[in-house]
């Protein structure tokens, strides 16, 4: 496994472009296009929000054909809560890309991120599409990754290669978002490309697993957006033997895919709005992995825990209180809690005050680990989170202008 | 139904006292005692946190005998996460009060609120109990209500009277807390007294109903504490005909009890940490009341909604996104959302930009109502919440000193 320089266009046969189309203020890039030179299987995982945005509705429909050729994304407008007109605009966007590329509309996927409510400014999008197609190139990954950002402060890209069955295969990716974010800049979007030859059904299962272990384990503010989307497009140009559900090579691909998703997820979490701390929450000893994750997520989203992290306050009582309200039944006298290697709670009882100073020293670091043991079960989970700072409130309270 | 001047001691036969025992810095009051001159039925509702504090464990045990005579509360220390020693300290506290009053230990209930972790400073408590007993009096309600506060900025009391079966009956109450609060000052505590004659079983059911409609409908930060407790002690001195499960007078008592609980709940919510807004969230048209409440709570606890309330930002997209992730299945085109009388979303589509200015004007008020319709069902719910301000982060992030 090796890191590559390029992002989304690192795998063979992928091109990308990003432009300023006019949705955001100039010179901000606001439209991106990713294409493969040939059609291939595509997999998708979408928001569980009951009120998905128009692009999510459209992508779910297109995914029934299981084949992808291009992904077009705009930032600055989420095309969410836009009713029937919103869906028509997403369809038109896909159709116009399809016309330019000479493929079916159903092979084009659409993503949007930005303000919820207003309809898409279609004239900008109509003019932008031919510009994007003309600009498509192997080195266009970086500008595409820039064009999907909203309140992000950093571009998020990944590219890895590995050897599968004697053939070199590559995975590229780009992402935006940090939980639900700016006043309206909702959304976590992540797009992955690979030149591996793989069955769509296997790709879909692999992506779901990878998302479960990576993107679904980061939490900035616990809000699930109307637009969250992860897509993975595979074009088979690496020339490996087709990966099927029982292929011995599948595990290797799964590891590579999870590594790419993990990298993007960590980049998102570290770029969380106003975040000053980046904390690993590990839960062990639960009855099941699901219960462990439920506990870890409850701790990660507790306002009291998050403000204590920001305040560097070794207030372990708040962690224990969050563990207690997570849902799973727990015996108090089985609980252990450590900050890195310092034990704060042992068999349910707190450490002496002198240790608090050492815990405080750990909390002054930018990153550290909270390890929580809740019994003798085999369930475990890891969740990554950030603190809740003055800047989070500032970023999210400011009146849109 | 009429409001009375006194709080917890307004009903016949109740005495109270509050003192500075030494748990907090002088001259802050930190211990309170409420007693009835005679034993009577008592009802209790406790935290659903799986790691309840020692006083909650003890009170649940005592409640099996269903009879109460006194309630003793300390602030400054939550006696939570204190293991077996914590339980012994709670028992000793109850036993010492029982010895002074000449009753069984099981008729004495204990409450604690404050820092989680440290064990109770028993010498202060041992010395405080006889002082409290000597100080018990009819006018002691106010000082008792003061002695249970932590980060609260205001004393929270209520007293009502009504006529039941030709007899005047009274309900008094006091409370503390605003969701989970200061660095460690966890806990919502509420204590109610009444001189009505009522069966314990009926009182328990009535209290559960009242809590469901009042205390369980306020949300400041969504954290459920290890110590949350509501107790209601009835001594029967009003001389009414005993209220049984089929008494025609029961409805009237239920209304009075809910009114008392509602008043305390609103006082808690309005005193929420750092709160600058006090918002009514009403959900209608859900399939069931439970689904309506789930939606209302999700909106009320969304960080993005709460920061938008603080920023007076008419960002209705965040409300819709929270409705969508609440769980219940919803059709987008049935959604309506109003800020007071201004419609922001109609049949799932957003209002025009000109209305946003009018919504912004409503949001500049200290209190307003969000009304959300999610379908044509009969389920409805109301939840009261506050915004998330810089001060919330400040109060909760500051290192304990």
Tens-place pLDDT, residues A171-226: 999 999 864 433 344 468 999 999 999 999 999 999 999 998 888 887 655 566 78
Per the rule left: phi > 0, alpha: psi between -120 and 50, beta: everything else, A129 is: alpha
When mean pLDDT is compared across A135-139, A172-176, A281-285, A380-384, the lowest value belongs to: A380-384
Q: Which two structure tokens, joined as six digits, stand for A331?
A: 């015996």
CA-wise closest residue to B265 among B187, B211, B193:
B211
Q: Given an 8 Å threshold on Cβ–Cβ distance, is A224 in contact with B325?
A: yes
Q: How far is B345 from chain A (nearest CA, A)?
A: 9
Q: What is the mean pLDDT of residues A76-89?
A: 92
Buried b / exposed e over A81-120, threshold 16 CB at 10 Å, is bbeeebbbbbbbbbebbbebbebebbbbbbbbbbbbbbbb
Pick the residue with more confidence: A100 or B48? Answer: A100
pLDDT over threshold 90, residue B348? no
Per the rule left: phi > 0, alpha: psi between -120 and 50, beta: everything else, B340 is: left
Q: What is the mean pLDDT of residues A232-237?
A: 98
Q: Given an 8 Å threshold on Cβ–Cβ distance, is B333 in contact with A83?
A: yes
Question: With contacts defined as CB-CB under 8 Å, which chain B residues touch A364?
Answer: none
pLDDT of residue B180: 45
**Those residues with Cβ within 8 angstroms of residue A319's Cβ, 6 or more apart along the chain or in another chain:** A299, A302, A305, A337, A344, A370, A372
Buried b / exposed e over B209-242, threshold 16 CB at 10 Å, is ebbebbbbbbbbbbbbbbbbbbbbbbbbbbebee
pLDDT of residue B221: 57
- What CA–CA distance (Å, rounded) separates A105 from A112? 17
Q: What is the mean pLDDT of residues A43-68?
A: 94
Q: Which two structure tokens, joined as six digits, stand for A21?
A: 């189309």
Question: With contacts defined as CB-CB under 8 Å, which chain B residues touch A308?
Answer: 183, 396-397
Q: Given an 8 Å threshold on Cβ–Cβ distance, is B396 in contact with A80?
A: no
| Cis amide prior to A27 (ω within 30 degrees) | yes
Burial class (CB in 10 A: 0-12, 13-18, 19+), B340: middle
Could you give phi then psi for residue B43, rounded to 5 degrees? Answer: -125, 150
What sign does the CA torsion over A360, A366, A369, A372 have? positive
Write out the E strands in B181-322.
Answer: 189-194, 218-219, 229-234, 278-286
- What CA–CA distance (Å, rounded) separates B41 from B195? 11
Q: Given an 8 Å threshold on Cβ–Cβ distance, is A350 in contact with B326?
A: no
Could you give phi then psi for residue B8, rounded to 5 degrees? Answer: -60, -25
* Count of beta carbons in the 10 Å neighbourhood of residue B84: 12
Q: How far are the Cα atoms of A12, A330, B302, B385 from residue B286, in angstroms, in the given order? A: 50, 34, 19, 20
Could you give phi then psi for residue A311, rounded to 5 degrees? Answer: -80, 0
Eight-state DSSP code of residue A273: T
Question: With contacts defined as CB-CB under 8 Å, which chain B residues touch A48?
Answer: 325
Q: Is B102 helix (H, G, I), strand (E, B) or coil?
A: coil
pLDDT of residue B183: 33
Pick the residue with more confidence: B6 or B22? Answer: B22
Cα–chain-centroid distance for residue A76? Answer: 18
Segment A330-355, tens digit of pLDDT: 988 899 999 999 999 998 888 777 78
* Count of beta carbons in the 10 Å neighbourhood of residue B49: 23
Residues 220-249 of B with CB under 8 A from A: 221-226
A187, A193, A214, A229: the catalytic one is A187
When mean pLDDT is compared across A203-212, B69-78, B127-136, B210-219, the lowest value belongs to: B210-219
Q: What is the mean pLDDT of residues A18-28?
A: 96
Segment B298-335, tens digit of pLDDT: 898 888 888 889 889 888 888 988 898 888 999 888 99
pLDDT over threshold 90, residue B261? yes
pLDDT of residue B181: 39
Could you give phi then psi for residue A343, rounded to 5 degrees? Answer: -80, 120
Length of chain A: 401
B386 is catalytic: no
Q: What is the mean pLDDT of residues A136-162?
A: 95
Q: Given an 8 Å threshold on Cβ–Cβ distance, is A310 in contact with B393?
A: yes
When mean pLDDT is compared across A309-318, B162-171, B206-215, the lowest value belongs to: A309-318
Q: What is the mean pLDDT of residues B370-388?
A: 92
Percent of chain B with pLDDT over 70: 94
State pTM to two decimals.
0.81
- What CA–CA distance (Å, rounded) separates A222 from A216? 11
Question: With contacts defined as CB-CB under 8 Å, which chain B residues touch A329?
Answer: 50
Percent of chain A with pLDDT over 70: 94
Q: Which two structure tokens, joined as six digits, stand for A224?
A: 């699930």
Question: With contacts defined as CB-CB under 8 Å, which chain A residues touch B385?
Answer: none
Mean pLDDT of chain A: 90
- Pairing label, strands B342-346, B349-350: antiparallel
Q: Given an 8 Å threshold on Cβ–Cβ distance, is B303 in contact with A396?
A: yes
Q: Given an 8 Å threshold on Cβ–Cβ distance, is A184 in contact with B315?
A: yes
Q: How far is A225 from chain B (nearest CA, A)?
A: 6
**Those residues with Cβ within 8 angstroms of residue A270's Cβ, 6 or more apart along the chain or in another chain:** A278, A386
- What CA–CA distance (Å, rounded) separates B144 from B133? 12
- Residue of A397, A400, A401 best to disrupt the B interface, most CBs of B under 10 A: A397
Q: Give me the residue from A50, A317, A400 closest to B116, CB to CB.
A: A317
Burial class (CB in 10 A: 0-12, 13-18, 19+), B332: buried
Give the residue from chain B lying closest to A319, CA to CA. Answer: B116
pLDDT over threshold 70, residue A166? yes
Residues 96-135 of A with CB under 8 A from B: 115-118
Q: Given an 8 Å threshold on Cβ–Cβ distance, is A321 in contact with B51?
A: yes
B35, B47, B113, B187: the catalytic one is B187
Question: With contacts defined as CB-CB under 8 Å, which chain B residues touch A345?
Answer: 81
Segment A24-37, tens digit of pLDDT: 999 999 999 999 99
ipTM of the complex: 0.75
pLDDT of residue A398: 62
- Residue of A84, A287, A324, A395 best to disrupt the B interface, most CBs of B under 10 A: A324
pLDDT of residue A128: 98
pLDDT over threshold 90, residue A140? yes
pLDDT of residue A385: 86
Q: What is the mean pLDDT of residues B3-30?
A: 95
- What CA–CA distance (Å, rounded) separates A388 from B398? 12
Confirm or reject contact between A312 and chain B (CB < 8 A). yes
Q: How far are the Cα atoms of A198, A258, A287, B42, B298 from residue A244, in angstroms, in the given order? A: 6, 18, 33, 66, 42
Segment A44-55, tens digit of pLDDT: 999 888 889 999
Q: Is B209 helix (H, G, I), strand (E, B) or coil?
A: helix
Confirm or reject contact between A56 and chain B (CB < 8 A). no
Domains of chain A: 2-270 (3.60.70.12), 278-397 (3.10.20.340)
Mean pLDDT of chain B: 90
Q: What is the DSSP string of B303-332?
A: HHHHHHHHTT---HHHHHHHHHHSSS---G
pLDDT over threshold 80, residue B399? no
Q: What is the DSSP string of A158-185?
A: EEEEEEETTEEEEEEEEEE-SSS-SSS-
Query: Under a CB-based contact definition with an 8 Å cutoff, are residues B36 and B186 in contact?
Result: no
Q: How far is A44 from chain B (nearest CA, A)?
A: 19
Pick the residue with more confidence: B274 or A339? Answer: A339
């Amino acid at each position: 496994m090796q890191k590559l320089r390029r992002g989304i266009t690192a795998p063979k046969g992928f091109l990308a472009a990003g432009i300023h189309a006019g949705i955001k203020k100039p010179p901000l890039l606001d439209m991106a296009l990713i294409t493969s030179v040939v059609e291939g299987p595509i997999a998708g995982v979408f928001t569980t929000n009951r009120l998905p945005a128009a692009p999510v509705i459209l992508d779910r429909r297109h995914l029934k054909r299981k084949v992808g050729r291009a992904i077009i994304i705009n930032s600055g407008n989420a095309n969410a809560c836009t009713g029937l007109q919103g869906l028509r605009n997403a369809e038109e966007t896909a159709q116009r890309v399809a016309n330019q590329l000479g493929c079916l509309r159903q092979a084009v996927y659409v993503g949007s991120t930005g303000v919820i409510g207003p309809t898409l400014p279609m004239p900008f999008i109509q003019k932008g599409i031919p510009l994007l197609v003309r600009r498509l190139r192997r080195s266009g990954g970086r500008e595409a990754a820039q064009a999907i950002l909203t309140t992000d402060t950093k571009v998020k890209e990944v590219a890895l290669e590995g050897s599968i069955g004697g053939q070199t295969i590559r995975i590229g990716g780009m992402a935006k978002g940090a939980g639900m974010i700016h006043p309206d800049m909702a959304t976590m979007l992540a797009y992955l490309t690979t030149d591996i030859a793989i069955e769509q059904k296997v790709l879909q299962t692999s992506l779901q697993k990878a998302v479960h272990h990576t993107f679904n384990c980061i939490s900035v503010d616990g809000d699930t957006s109307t637009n969250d989307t992860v897509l993975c497009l595979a074009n088979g140009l690496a020339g490996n033997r087709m990966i099927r559900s029982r292929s011995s090579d599948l595990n290797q691909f799964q590891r590579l895919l999870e590594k790419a998703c993990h990298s993007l997820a960590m980049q998102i979490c570290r770029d969380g709005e106003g975040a000053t701390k980046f904390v690993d929450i590990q839960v062990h000893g639960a009855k099941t992995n699901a219960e462990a994750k439920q506990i870890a997520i409850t701790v990660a989203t507790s306002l009291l825990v998050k403000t204590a992290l920001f305040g560097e306050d070794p207030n372990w009582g708040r962690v224990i209180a969050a563990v207690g309200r997570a849902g799973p039944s727990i015996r108090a006298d089985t609980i252990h809690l450590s900050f890195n290697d310092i034990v704060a709670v042992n068999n349910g009882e707190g450490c002496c005050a002198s240790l608090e100073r050492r815990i405080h020293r750990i909390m002054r670091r930018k990153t550290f680990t909270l390890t929580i043991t809740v019994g003798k079960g085999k369930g475990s989970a890891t969740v990554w989170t950030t603190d809740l700072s003055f800047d989070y409130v500032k970023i999210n309270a400011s009146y849109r202008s």
